[in-house]
Chains A and B, each alone.
Chain A
């Protein structure tokens, strides 16, 4: 379980996060939803210690993050984090060199699934293919938790569908996933839990299934209430 406890973050005088708390469980897909600039990316950066939080605590399986934690949690940012001049093959090799949790079989499987070519340079890939290569590098790690920042933003419909397919496959099953998005439509049917953020706080946290069954509302219905009402 990933526990975010009362986390605050200031950038200069601006309070981006003002006491955010939520949990994300293994085997579930948790979606952080909020308009642009609400601090979704900052939360993910905070979980993997890429940006220090001003206060609060973040625990992964009850422990603070250490260097070993990077073998069980993978963060897939919204841009690929490999050198543009690298070939897909070299990027995979880099990951294999440094991560014990790198699963080469799975990487090859993803390569086929996404129809990526090993010899292509990252700088020469289309936007959709960069997003897929980025996803490949994160998903091929045998980790318990995956954090994905806007995996659907700015890519074509077919790539979106392919990426959405990944979520229902064994590639994601069993793992705990935190995903951020500001466009919910593509993945509404995939997510187990929603954390609605607004003004630097958690506005509402709910299980999608329960919301549908008990109140008869979809995620979009709840969002409409929260953001428009």
Chain B
């Protein structure tokens, strides 16, 4: 196993407990939420149909069929996702600072490993990416489980069975978090996670500026981040300022792809320089 993979494995191991807790909260909240939502719906059904004598057709017409959407718009669904996202964003900072904090400063060891220092940076980034993608995969599995739960709890005439893609796709207008974390098209997926991962690289580079130049480094880091974002979003900014679309969508996509490579590549390059020449324990 090469050193990079060993480092990725090591970084994952350092956060795995918290990560499993995050996953556990997500699973528990969504499954409990699904059960409660289906239960509430059935209670309402019993009340209306059996107590008040409403016909089933009228009930369905008035309240609608239950589907995964009922869950996806609820806080049972959105809160744990928000929480997991927040924790991973905070950890993107902490994954660096934890090595400098405390009495046993692990950064000494990391920097003295007989391997290219950029591997530390890439391993930390990869650990974040893997954890993000792991939660996304978990969500896909959960949607299937929740769909089965619904089928098991609610009779067919009261529910709308949406496929996973349908339930995600149906949400685009609604703006649920699911549409952001699992886009329906592959291109959209590339855009969302491409931009997300680029932001992680930029953030890591800004952190290394701070770790290299300390107080002054905060200004360098913020400056670097601003320049990186301006470069990446320049085509959009130009179009907004001049109020015209200069490029076809495909051209824009290709240009953004190139700018992504430029911004991500320079973040890695600058980080490599800082790690080798400027960083201090």
Instruction: Please report A residues at the B interface, Cβ cutoff 8 Å.
Output: 45, 48-52, 67-71, 74-75, 77, 79-84, 94, 97-101, 122
- B217 to chain A minimum Cβ distance, whole angstroms, is 13
Identity of the chain B residue whose Cβ is nearest the Cβ of A50 in the assembled complex: B281
Residues in B neighbouring A69, C-beta threshold 8 A: 114
| Further pairs besides A52-B279, A94-B109, A122-B104: 14, Cβ < 8 Å | A49-B276, A50-B280, A52-B277, A52-B280, A67-B114, A69-B114, A75-B112, A79-B104, A82-B104, A84-B102, A94-B10, A98-B115, A99-B113, A99-B114
In the complex, the answer to whether B280 meets A98 with C-beta atoms within 8 Å is: no
Chain B 107-141, CB-CB to A under 8 Å as 1, else 0, gives 01101111111000000000000000000000000
Q: How many A-B residue pairs have CB under 8 A?
A: 63
Identity of the chain B residue whose Cβ is nearest the Cβ of A137 in the assembled complex: B109
In the complex, the answer to whether B113 meets A82 with C-beta atoms within 8 Å is: no
Identity of the chain B residue whose Cβ is nearest the Cβ of A41 in the assembled complex: B281
In the complex, the answer to whether B112 meets A70 with C-beta atoms within 8 Å is: yes
Residues in A neighbouring B269, C-beta threshold 8 A: none
Identity of the chain A residue whose Cβ is nearest the Cβ of B216 in the assembled complex: A12
Residues in B neighbouring A71, C-beta threshold 8 A: 114
Most buried by B among A67, A68, A71, A80: A67
- A7 to chain B minimum Cβ distance, whole angstroms, is 15
In the complex, the answer to whether B104 meets A98 with C-beta atoms within 8 Å is: no
B106 within 8 A of A: yes
Q: Could you name 18 residue pairs across A and B whose Cβ atoms are closer than 8 Å?
A: A45-B281, A48-B112, A50-B112, A52-B280, A67-B113, A69-B114, A70-B112, A70-B113, A75-B108, A79-B103, A79-B105, A81-B104, A81-B106, A81-B109, A82-B109, A83-B104, A84-B104, A122-B104
Identity of the chain B residue whose Cβ is nearest the Cβ of A122 in the assembled complex: B104
Identity of the chain B residue whose Cβ is nearest the Cβ of A69 in the assembled complex: B114
Chain B 78-113, CB-CB to A under 8 Å as 1, else 0, gives 000000000000000000000000111110110111
User: How far, in angstroms, from A101 to B152 measured CA to CA in the complex?
Assistant: 60
In the complex, the answer to whether A51 meets B115 with C-beta atoms within 8 Å is: no
B3 within 8 A of A: yes
Residues in A neighbouring B276, C-beta threshold 8 A: 49
Known contacts A71-B114, A98-B115; decide if A77 and B108 are in contact (CB<8 Å): yes
- A188 to chain B minimum Cβ distance, whole angstroms, is 28
Residues in A neighbouring B192, C-beta threshold 8 A: none
